[in-house]
Amino acid sequence: MALFDRAIVKALPAVPKPIVRRLSAPYIAGPSLEDAVRVVSRLNVAGKLATIDVLGEAVTSIAESQEIARSYHQVLARIESEKLDANVSIKLTGLGLHVDAEHCRENLTDVAEDARVRGNFVRIDMEDSSTTGATLGLYRGLRAGGHENVGVVLQARLRRTLTDIDGLANVRLCKGIYVEPSEIAFQAENEIRASYRETLSALLDQGSYVGIATHDEELIIDALDQIRERGLEREAYEFQMLLGVRERRGDELVRAGHRVRVYLPFGVRWYEYSIRRLQENPAIAGYIALGTLGRLRRWRSPAP
């Protein structure tokens, strides 16, 4: 399967843009803020929360980073005016981390302050391992400066994660999608799952609010067990899922009384985001390709 996945990735640049858009449509709200507002409204009606991500990362200029920062201010204003149950999630390379670290900090602080004034929250997303130290440093700096309305993300895949949790008040815990070398990241699925369980347990034990971000049923069941064992109230944690993924399971969790937040990306950079996500994790490309072939077969099959 690995050879097939890599072959799909190599072919991606040749795939027509409309086809990529069609494949990515279930997982991206759309190119505009209006699209995001529409999808968040639908999620809220279904009893789900949302976190909105403006697509755009690894920018190469100050101007690009300022554009993305402005977009986040616009998102926060619309969340407030539309009374949506949503917050925002930010990738620091979109705010200029690799262009000018100080400028990135200023952008992030401005967005966090805007959110604070509006009674909202900012999740600082985690990217590949080259950004881990800087991301945690900026998060801790904002919290120390009085911005209690910011949280961060940890990836169970990284070997360092358990040593990073001390004092983290609000964490989204995910497996991590970035392909990293074995020296710094677990490779086997059973190792990643074990790290996830152990990290979740440690975070809950220290009183962190945890966004349990996984679609892995084994980890969902384990998380439910940990929550029940500790007698946690629903306000002490939440489950998080990606837009378009395991929606029925999310509905089940809502009906069972759990908070469920959906990660919702939108923006004009949807094509770059889609291609990059597939290139970063070739296995995802293979799954999508096989799923697409399956749908094509069903479309072409004669009606019974």
| Catalytic site positions | 125, 172
**Judging by beta carbons within 10 Å of its beta carbon (0-12, 13-18, 19+), is residue 134 exposed, middle or buried?**
middle
Rounded CA gap, 88 and 70, in Å?
Answer: 13
The distance from CA 114 to its chain's CA centroid, rounded to whole angstroms, is: 21
Question: In a 3-state reduction of DSSP, which class is residue 233?
Answer: coil
Cβ neighbour number for residue 68 with a 10 Å cutoff: 23
Q: How many CB atoms lie within 10 A of CB 303?
A: 3
**What values do phi and psi take at 248, rounded to 5?**
-65, -35
Closest CA relative to residue 130, chosen from 57, 77, 200, 232 = 57
**128 alpha-carbon distance from chain centroid:** 13
What CA–CA distance (Å, rounded) separates 223 from 143?
Answer: 27
Outline where DSSP puts E strands in the chain.
Answer: 49-54, 86-90, 122-124, 150-155, 170-174, 209-213, 237-242, 260-266
Q: What is the DSSP letter of 289?
A: H
Separation CA 168–CA 271 (nearest Å) = 34
Cβ–Cβ < 8 Å for 85, 50: yes
Distances (CA, A) of 115 to 79, 136, 145, 192, 290: 10, 19, 15, 33, 41
Cα 53 to chain center, whole Å?
Answer: 8
Place of tokens 């990217």: 127
